[in-house]
């Protein structure tokens, strides 16, 4: 048996999924999908699995989440549906339920947060609810793990015995009723041929859902006939088609709730939320408290816990690497193989792996912000400035994380529901200067702009943001022209995040990153090691100036002449910066043959303050590191688009550095 | 009157939902349909979007979009 878990956003769906499956879950691979949908085996029920589909409010063809959910239900034919609804907000939640009922698949309704309803003096009559909807209804509390056994039992029962929903007709006699029945009669054969319910097909035709209409392969004649019934309905009901259907559904829901639900007084949870919001989204306190929270998250991640764990991990890797090195030396292994293992694998993968604690810690905080409901508030507060560049408040958090590291920032775009917003945000993240570039800035600022150190650092950050905004405006007018996603977003009550969900999310992200570290990033670091260690005749180099990497550096160095820094060592450092941005500094050290402490002086012979500024601008804007590129590749789902982004970044960097250098020359 | 003109704290009844395409469907799906009672809860610190309360939950929409919803008090 395979069940689909469907529900609104913020209704506790993931918590229920985690209760149902434990840690027995993995990300499902459904074609053409970049939105997560996880599969897990139900605990104690061998062979029964449940698929956690993304949270949606309606079965429309607009957002990624909606497309994934409906494609799964229509194409993968689950044996049963578990529809989870938030009992404290039942009216709006049932709107999706009615659309699921129309799909005519065995289904169970899970009334989540019933404890909260009861705790505030409300109640829901389960029997009346079952009768009105024609499906089994089970009261549960996902957080407290109550009612889960009953739910599993109920969904098994309906799925095994193929018990279909008994109610599908929500329309009172009248214009809408007539229209839907006429259309569903006409579409019956087509719907049955492609294996969907005629009633569902009919309402989707009335709503004008292109996707379904194309799929049904209706003739011109049939479409005309249906259009005729719909126009008639619009005239008789004095509403257009979409309003008429929404009205029909909500009217039915209001009738059901009128019979079965005794609404609670204003709940404690809601009162608490309003109180918290008087600070967190208050007129004067919203932005300061937002900055404070983000500062705290950053400080803890990059300053305290993350750094501590990162240092610990890199110490561990260093110790392991030293032990392996010694063992290899004692064994008397070929020095090239030793170099491959130590300088290639350990150094390369190790440097990337040392990001891991930062990513895990950052996602720990992010999932708390998300699950508690604060993320929605950030979008609410920050929507206005972002709208100017064609994005919505939801993109803000991902961009902000970019100041720490582009990798988790790109990973965080997964919560954006519009493909357009997601792609555009991913494109902009690399312009936000990540923390790995700080060593480069610090080195150059100390060597060339001693008096204006802070100003130069600040200037670089601001420049990155400005160039990003400029690109966004241009992209918004060209490639991403078209309507941005409408910003209609629920502000859920604040809730305590469940420890289990937070831990599972951290585990997921860590696994994801480690997998990548050992595949794409592993190969990339090997290539860089190879280029660094061999010359064109495949001999091991003794002077790093003879390596293949240096050759490439010499080859591309002329391209940087117009920017003021044609030196091959500088160009080579930029290439090695692709493995990790910190590597720019260490490569400069190796190639100029100076120790870190004297590197500033040596650079003084290669750069003037103006060319240094040009170089800094270039490093600020050029291609993100290999880990970030691998993440972008994964989230974009396309190699060519990723290559496109890398080329665009390099192009923009070149132009910006060119402008800086030449403007500087002009003004002396 | 349209929803964006309603003062904070006031309750109004929806008469008509305008807009088109995806936005309009989204508004209707979220329960903003004629005869629904809506209370304007708050305006975001930068003056836009607004937070409204309806059907027992909170929703945020932009003023521009709220301008497409006709209401009466």
What one-character-per-residue DSSP string does A12-68 give?
Answer: SHHHHHHHHHTT-EEE---TT--S--EEEEPTT-TT-EEEEPPP-SS--SSSHHHHH
Q: Transcribe A257-290 into DSSP letters.
A: HHHHEE--SS-HHHHHHHHHHHHHTSTTTHHHHH
What pLDDT shows up at residue A146?
A: 92
Same domain for A150 and A18: yes
The reply to whether A604 falls in a domain is no
| Averaged pLDDT in 10-residue chunks for chain A of 668 residues | 92 89 64 62 84 90 85 91 94 95 95 91 92 94 92 94 86 87 92 91 92 89 92 91 93 92 84 92 90 85 77 84 88 84 76 74 83 88 86 83 84 79 89 84 85 84 90 81 78 87 81 74 77 83 81 89 88 85 79 75 88 93 88 87 92 93 87
- Give the Cα-Cα-Cα angle A427, A584, A403 (nearest 5 degrees): 40
Cβ atoms of A168 and A117 closer than 8 Å: no
For B61, the closest of A62, A283, A487 (CB atoms) is A487
For residues A566 and A157, what is the distance between their CA atoms, to the nearest angstrom?
74
Q: CATH for B3-72? A: 2.30.30.90
> A564: closest CA among A657, A449, A666?
A657
> A633: closest CA among A523, A530, A488, A492?
A523
What pLDDT shows up at residue A449?
A: 87
CATH number at residue A244: 1.10.287.1770
Diameter of chain B measured on Cα atoms: 30
Query: CB A384 to CB B28 under 8 A?
Result: no
Cβ atoms of B67 and B3 closer than 8 Å: yes
Same domain for A184 and A64: no
Task: Kindly report each contact of residues A593-600 with a partner whose C-beta sits within 8 Å and lies 24 or more positions away, as own/partner.
Answer: A599/A443, A599/A447, A600/A443, A600/A446, A600/A447
Same domain for A216 and A127: no
In the block, which residue shows the tokens 């030196």? A567
> A463: closest CA among A481, A484, A443, A437?
A437
In chain A, which residues have their Cβ closer than 8 Å to the Cβ of B22? 60, 62, 483, 485-486
Q: Transcribe A595-633 into DSSP letters.
A: -GGGHHHHHHHH--HHHHHHHHHHHHHS---HHHHHHHH
Looking at every residue in chain B, the average pLDDT score rounds to: 93
Phi, psi for residue A25 in degrees, rounded to 5: -140, 155
Rg, Å, chain B Cα set: 11
Domain that holds residue A98: 2-160
For residues A227 and A216, what is the distance between their CA atoms, to the nearest angstrom?
15
Q: Write the secondary structure of A510-562 as one string of H (helix), E (strand) and C (coil).
A: HHHHHHHHCCHHHHHHHHHHHHHHECCCCCECCCHHHCHHHHHHHHHHHHHHH
Mutation to test the A interface, candidates B4, B58, B61, B64, most A Cβ within 10 Å:
B58
Token pair for A181: 């029945």
Same domain for A156 and A182: no
Same domain for A117 and A45: yes
For B60, the closest of A91, A243, A489 (CB atoms) is A489
Domain boundary among A160, A184, A213: A160
B70 touches chain A (CB under 8 A): no
Using one digit for the tens of pLDDT, what is the confidence trace for B13-53? Answer: 999 999 888 899 999 999 999 999 999 999 999 998 999 99
What pLDDT shows up at residue A367?
A: 82
The reply to whether A88 falls in a domain is yes
Phi, psi for residue A365 in degrees, rounded to 5: -65, -40
Chain B contacts in chain A segment 274-333 (CB below 8 A): 277, 281-284, 286-287
For residues A301 and A307, what is the distance between their CA atoms, to the nearest angstrom?
7
For residues A663 and A660, what is the distance between their CA atoms, to the nearest angstrom?
5
What pLDDT shows up at residue A32?
A: 40
For A95, the closest of B24, B31, B58 (CB atoms) is B31
Q: Write the secondary structure of A379-425 as one string of H (helix), E (strand) and C (coil).
A: HHHHHHHHHCCCCCCCHHHHHHHCCCCHHHHHHHHHHCCCHHHHHHH
Q: HSE, CB side, 13 Å, CA atoms: give it for residue A478.
A: 6
Determine how β-strand A137-139 pairs with β-strand A107-112: parallel
Q: With 0-12 CB in 10 A as exposed, 13-18 as middle and 19+ as buried, what is A269?
A: middle
For B24, the closest of A242, A273, A281 (CB atoms) is A242
What pLDDT shows up at residue A55?
A: 87
DSSP state of A430: G
Query: CB A286 to CB B31 under 8 A?
Result: no
Domain boundary among A130, A160, A190: A160
Q: What is the ipTM of this complex?
A: 0.96
**Cis before B49 (ω within 30):** yes
Rg, Å, chain A Cα set: 29
The reply to whether A345 falls in a domain is no
Same domain for A181 and A146: no
> B46: closest CA among A78, A603, A378?
A378
Phi, psi for residue A206 in degrees, rounded to 5: -60, -40
For B49, the closest of A380, A385, A483 (CB atoms) is A380
Same domain for A190 and A134: no
Cβ atoms of A209 and A202 closer than 8 Å: no
β-sheet with A2-7: strand ranges across: A25-27, A38-41, A49-52, A2-7, A80-86, A107-112, A137-139
Same domain for A67 and A109: yes
* Coil, strand or helix at A139: strand
The reply to whether A80 falls in a domain is yes
Same domain for A10 and A118: yes
> B25: closest CA among A605, A245, A377?
A245
Number of structural domains chain A divides into: 2
Q: With 0-12 CB in 10 A as exposed, 13-18 as middle and 19+ as buried, what is A601?
A: exposed
Query: CB A89 to CB B45 under 8 A?
Result: no
Query: CB A92 to CB B57 under 8 A?
Result: yes
For residues A29 and A25, what is the distance between their CA atoms, to the nearest angstrom?
12
Other beta carbons less than 10 A from residue A96's beta carbon: 24
| Minimum distance, in Å, between the CA of residue B5 and any CA atom of chain A | 18
Same domain for A58 and A96: yes
Token pair for A141: 């509390």
Chain A contacts in chain B segment 10-39 (CB below 8 A): 17, 21-31, 33-34, 36
B63 touches chain A (CB under 8 A): no
Same domain for A132 and A182: no
For residues A13 and A84, what is the distance between their CA atoms, to the nearest angstrom?
7
Same domain for A256 and A193: yes
Domain coordinates in residue numbering, chain B: 3-72
Q: HSE, CB side, 13 Å, CA atoms: give it for residue B5.
A: 10
What pLDDT shows up at residue A30?
A: 46
A537 touches chain B (CB under 8 A): no
């Amino acid at each position: 048996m395979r069940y689909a878990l469907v529900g609104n956003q913020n209704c506790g769906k993931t918590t229920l999924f985690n209760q149902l499956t434990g840690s027995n879950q993995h990300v499902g691979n459904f074609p053409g999908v970049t939105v997560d949908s996880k599969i897990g085996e139900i605990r104690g029920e061998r062979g029964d699995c449940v698929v956690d589909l993304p949270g949606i409010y309606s079965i429309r063809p607009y957002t990624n989440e909606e497309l994934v959910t409906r494609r799964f239900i229509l194409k993968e034919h689950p044996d049963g549906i578990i529809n989870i609804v938030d009992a404290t907000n039942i009216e709006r939640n049932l709107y999706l339920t009615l659309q699921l009922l129309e799909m005519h698949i065995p289904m169970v309704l899970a009334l989540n947060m019933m404890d909260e309803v009861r705790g505030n003096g409300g109640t829901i009559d389960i029997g009346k609810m079952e009768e009105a909807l024609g499906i089994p209804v089970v009261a549960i509390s996902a957080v407290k793990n109550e009612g889960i056994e009953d739910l599993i039992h109920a969904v098994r029962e309906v799925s095994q015995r193929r018990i279909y929903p008994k109610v599908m007709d929500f329309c009172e006699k009248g214009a809408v009723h007539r229209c839907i029945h006429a259309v569903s009669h006409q579409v019956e054969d087509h719907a049955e041929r492609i294996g969907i319910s005629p009633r569902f097909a009919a309402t989707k035709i009335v709503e004008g859902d292109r996707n379904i209409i194309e799929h049904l392969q209706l003739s011109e004649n049939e479409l005309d006939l249906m259009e005729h019934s719909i126009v008639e309905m619009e005239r008789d009901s004095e509403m257009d088609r979409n309003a008429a259907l929404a009205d029909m559904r909500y009217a039915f829901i209001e009738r059901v709730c009128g019979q079965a639900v005794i609404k609670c007084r204003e709940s404690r949870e809601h009162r608490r939320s309003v109180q918290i919001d008087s600070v967190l989204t208050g007129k004067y306190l919203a932005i300061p408290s937002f900055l404070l929270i983000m500062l705290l998250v950053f400080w803890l991640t990059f300053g305290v816990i993350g750094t501590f764990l990162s240092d610990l991990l890199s110490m561990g890797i260093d110790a392991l690497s030293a032990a392996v090195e010694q063992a290899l030396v004692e064994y008397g292994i070929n020095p090239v193989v030793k170099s491959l293992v130590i300088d290639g694998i350990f150094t390369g993968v190790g440097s990337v792996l040392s990001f891991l604690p930062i990513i895990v810690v950052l996602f720990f905080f992010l999932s708390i912000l998300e699950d508690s409901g604060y993320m929605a508030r950030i979008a609410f507060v920050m929507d206005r400035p972002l709208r100017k560049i064609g994005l919505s408040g939801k993109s803000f958090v991902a961009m902000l994380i970019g100041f720490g590291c582009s990798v988790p920032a790109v990973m965080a775009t997964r919560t954006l529901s519009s493909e357009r917003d997601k792609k555009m945000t991913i494109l902009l993240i690399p312009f936000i200067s990540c923390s790995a570039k700080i060593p480069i800035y610090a080195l150059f600022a100390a060597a060339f702009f001693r008096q204006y150190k802070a100003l130069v650092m600040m200037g670089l950050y601001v420049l990155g943001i400005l160039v990003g905004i400029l690109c966004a405006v241009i992209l918004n007018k060209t490639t991403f022209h078209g309507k941005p996603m409408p910003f209609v977003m629920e502000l859920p009550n604040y809730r305590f995040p469940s420890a289990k969900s937070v831990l599972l999310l951290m585990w997921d992200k860590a696994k994801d990153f480690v997998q990548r570290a050992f595949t794409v990033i592993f190969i990339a670091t090997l290539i860089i090691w190879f280029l660094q260690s061999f010359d064109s005749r495949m001999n091991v180099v003794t002077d790093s100036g003879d390596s293949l990497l240096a050759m490439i550096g010499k080859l591309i160095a002329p391209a940087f002449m117009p920017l003021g820094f044609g030196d091959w060592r500088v160009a080579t450092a930029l290439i090695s910066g692709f493995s990790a941005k910190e590597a720019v500094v260490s490569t400069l050290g190796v190639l100029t043959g100076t120790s870190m402490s004297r590197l500033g002086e040596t650079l003084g012979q290669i750069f003037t303050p103006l060319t240094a500024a040009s170089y800094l601008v270039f490093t600020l804007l050029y291609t993100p590191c290999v880990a970030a590129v691998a993440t972008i590749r994964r989230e974009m789902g396309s190699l060519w688009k990723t290559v496109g982004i890398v080329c665009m970044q390099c192009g923009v960097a070149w132009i910006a550095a060119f402008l800086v250098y030449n403007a500087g020359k002009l003004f002396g | 009157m349209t929803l964006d003109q309603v003062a904070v704290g006031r309750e109004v009844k929806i008469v008509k939902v305008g807009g088109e395409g995806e936005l309009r469907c989204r508004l209707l799906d979220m329960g903003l349909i004629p005869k629904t009672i809506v209370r304007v809860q708050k305006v975001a610190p930068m003056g836009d979007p607004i937070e409204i309360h309806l059907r027992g939950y909170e929703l945020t929409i932009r003023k521009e979009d709220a301008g497409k919803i006709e209401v009466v008090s």
